[in-house]
Amino acid sequence: MSKASRQGNLAETAFLHRATELGFSVSQPFGNCEPYDFIVDNGLKRWRVQVKSTRAQCSPNRYLVNVGHRPKAAEGLPPTSVAYLDSEIDFLAVYILAERTWYIVPIAGLAGRVRLRFFAGELARSGPNGIFHEAWHLLGRRKVDLLAHRHENLS
């Protein structure tokens, strides 16, 4: 298994752990043939989530993440990285391994790009992608939270 495959597996396992810990139901499509890695269910809505990760800093406290994908190339043409479309995924979950931190980016936040920069450490909420730092709430309120909220309002 390549180093990149191991890193991807580690990031997907970390995502599964964190999302489940937060109370989301998580499913994985069979056969690795979809453009997304997981389906996240908050009890009201299901989201297609692609997980990406990086270890490489491009400068101190800054990480560059390849967030595109390589569709099957047309015959005779080399594969190139292209941006995800909203017909393929709903969210990108980016794991910065060295920081053990997440960025939950809606497809609109990708804006057709195949690379994104993220800050880490004290600067994690800086830059244009800082609003997505640990933004698990973008996946919606969990059904458990909604039921508890309704119960509080009835009391």
C-alpha 130/C-alpha 86 separation (Å) is 21
**Average pLDDT, 10 consecutive residues per value, the chain (155 residues):** 84 95 94 91 95 88 88 65 92 93 94 89 85 94 53 52
C-alpha 140/C-alpha 24 separation (Å) is 9
Q: Strand order in 46-54's β-sheet?
A: 25-27, 38-41, 46-54, 91-96, 101-106
CA-based end-to-end distance of the chain: 55
The predicted pLDDT at position 53 comes to: 94
CA atoms within 13 A on the CB side of 125: 3
Q: Where are the domains of the chain?
A: 3-154
Distance of CA 115 to the CA centre of its chain: 14
The predicted pLDDT at position 25 comes to: 95
**Do the Cβ atoms of 49 and 39 come closer than 8 Å?**
yes
Q: Which class is 3-154 in CATH?
A: alpha beta
The predicted pLDDT at position 78 comes to: 63
The predicted pLDDT at position 32 comes to: 79
Neighbours of 84 (CB within 10 A): 22
Computed on alpha carbons and rounded to an integer, the radius of gyration of the chain in Å comes to 17
The predicted pLDDT at position 107 comes to: 96
Neighbours of 111 (CB within 10 A): 9
Residue 54, beta-bridge partner list: 96
C-alpha 142/C-alpha 57 separation (Å) is 34
Pairing of strands 46-54, 91-96: parallel
C-alpha 105/C-alpha 77 separation (Å) is 31
